[in-house]
Amino acid sequence: MTGLIAQPKQLRTPKLVHNVTWEQLEEIDESLQDFPGLKLIYLDGLLEITPIEEDHETVKSTMGILLESYLRARRIRFYRRGGPTLGRKEDGARNEPDESYSIGTREQYPDLVFEVVFTSGGVDRLEGYRRMGVKEVWFWENGIITIFALEAEEYREVENTRLIQDFPLQSFLKYVSYPDQFDAVDEFLNEVNAQK
Confidence of residue 14 (pLDDT cuts 50, 70, 90): confident
Evaluate whether residue 26 is within a structural domain.
no
- Number of separate domains in the chain: 1
> Rounded mean pLDDT of 122-141?
93
Evaluate whether residue 108 is within a structural domain.
yes
Cβ contact 71:125 at 8 Å: no
How many helices (H) and strands (E) would you count in the chain? 5, 11
Evaluate whether residue 14 is within a structural domain.
no
Confidence of residue 92 (pLDDT cuts 50, 70, 90): very high
Evaluate whether residue 17 is within a structural domain.
no
Q: How far apart are alpha carbons 142 and 139 in whole angstroms?
A: 10
Evaluate whether residue 140 is within a structural domain.
yes
Write out the H or E segment, with its range, that includes residue 140: strand 136-141
Confidence of residue 159 (pLDDT cuts 50, 70, 90): very high
> Rounded mean pLDDT of 139-143?
91
Evaluate whether residue 39 is within a structural domain.
no
4, pLDDT greater than 90 = no
> Rounded mean pLDDT of 43-50?
89
104, pLDDT greater than 90 = yes
Confidence of residue 12 (pLDDT cuts 50, 70, 90): low
Of 101 and 35, the structure prediction assigns the larger pLDDT to 101
DSSP 141-174: ETTEEEEEEEETTEEEEESS-SSSTT--HHHHHH
Evaluate whether residue 163 is within a structural domain.
yes
Evaluate whether residue 159 is within a structural domain.
yes
Domain holding 127, by residue range, is: 53-194
Nearest to 92 by CA among 127, 142, 140: 127
114, pLDDT greater than 90 = yes
Confidence of residue 7 (pLDDT cuts 50, 70, 90): very low
pLDDT digits (tens, 9 = 90+) for 61-89: 999 999 999 999 999 999 998 767 888 89
CATH number of residue 159's parent domain = 3.90.1570
